[in-house]
Amino acid sequence: MRLEDFDTGTTYDARVISTQRITPVASSEEVREIVLEVERDSFDYQPGQSIGVIVSGDHPQGHKHHFRLYSVADTPPTADGDKPRIALCVKRCNYIDEYSGERYEGISSNYLCDRSVGDSVTINGPFGIPFAVPDDLETDLLLIGMGTGIAPFRALVRHIYEDIKDYKGKVRLFYGAQSGLEMLYMNEEKDDFSQYYDRDTFEAFKALSPRPNWADPIAMDYALEERSEEILAMLDSSRTRVYVAGRADILETLDRVFSHMIGSSEHWARRKAELKAGQRWVELIY
Ligand SMILES: Cc1cc2nc3c(=O)[nH]c(=O)nc-3n(C[C@H](O)[C@H](O)[C@H](O)COP(=O)(O)OP(=O)(O)OC[C@H]3O[C@@H](n4cnc5c(N)ncnc54)[C@H](O)[C@@H]3O)c2cc1C
């Protein structure tokens, strides 16, 4: 769905409760976790869904309302009577115009990263298909994310192990980033996933670019191929769900790797179509 097609008519006020850089200062990438409190009695959303952020003003491209989506990075618990809260994981985006060579600041991501505690933000949503916790608590989950695509999995894994508690299916998380410094929630600033490493059902695998200072692709293919036996068995089982999140190029990588693992691109295309038809393959792609 194109951004222009989203309903931006109904909006809500939210207030910044906390904002914290979650990439080490040594990293050239700034990613922040921003917790918002929504000025409403209830605001229902689930991991895998996204929240819209609307930045009004006279923007350089001439538009008045700049609308962008951010996936839910946590579902922070609130006490009775408290207003609902949402955590977002926002990467400060800057880009160079390929014709003029000028550097532009991404409007919404810079706006969010510059907000201070107490500031207001206009939001809407939630949007998108959730990464639902299956009713059958023995369902295996294959979670694959790149970059800020880790955000929904941070929310989902925490929900599974802290709220659901008796989840019995295995959870395999594959996470790719350009370098160890950009491994969100798995770096020296914040290592949230480490608290689940002692769970029998949970394993996390990191995929890094072989040469972090170059523009080499992240080695997600190696990370997956190394565990192909287990992954193929998971894909064969009607008890597995696959959730994928991150920028669109992750899909090309996954099609290539899974085609290779499974034997041919035709075979993989059929398997993926079956998974999708059975709602066992869900994507959050941007
Ligand atoms: C469903 C969905 C969920 C999303 N979830 C998140 C999220 O959890 N965290 C997050 O940081 N972003 C997320 N995004 C991306 C986000 O919506 C914005 O596109 C991004 O913040 C840039 O918006 P901006 O207004 O700052 O930049 P704009 O002023 O719109 O400028 C866009 C420029 O920034 C570049 N760019 C856009 N997104 C990225 C990115 N993530 N990394 C590197 N370069 C980029 C583009 O190449 C483009 O040139 C999501 C997008 C979608 C569609």
Which pLDDT tens digits describe the chain residue by residue (286 residues)? 788 888 888 999 999 999 999 998 888 899 999 999 999 999 999 999 999 999 998 877 778 889 999 999 988 877 778 899 999 999 999 988 888 888 899 999 999 999 999 999 999 999 999 999 999 999 999 999 999 999 999 999 999 999 888 899 999 999 988 777 788 888 777 888 888 888 899 999 988 776 666 666 668 888 999 999 999 999 999 999 999 999 998 999 999 999 999 999 999 999 999 999 999 999 999 9
The residues near 90 (Cβ < 8 Å, ≥ 6 apart) are 31, 32, 33, 34, 70, 109, 112, 113, 148
Rounded CA Rg of the chain: 19
Report the b/e string of 235-246 with b at 16+ CB within 10 A: beeeebbbbbbb
CA 247 to ligand 1: nearest atom: 41
Closest CA relative to residue 231, chosen from 94, 250, 222: 222
**Domain 3-126: top CATH class:** mainly beta
Domain map (residue ranges) of the chain: 3-126, 140-285
Q: Which CATH class is domain 140-285?
A: alpha beta
> What is this structure's pTM?
0.90
93 within ligand 1 shell (Cβ under 6 A): yes
pLDDT of 195 reads: 85
Q: Does residue 51 have its Cβ closer than 6 Å to ligand 1?
A: no
Q: Are strands 202-208 and 171-177 parallel, antiparallel or unpaired?
A: parallel
Atom of ligand 1 nearest to the CA of 151: 8
Give the pLDDT confidence score for residue 211 in this predicted structure. 65
Q: Is 46 in the pocket of ligand 1 (CB under 6 A)?
A: no
Question: How much is the pLDDT for 119?
Answer: 98
Atom in ligand 1 nearest the alpha carbon of residue 69: 17
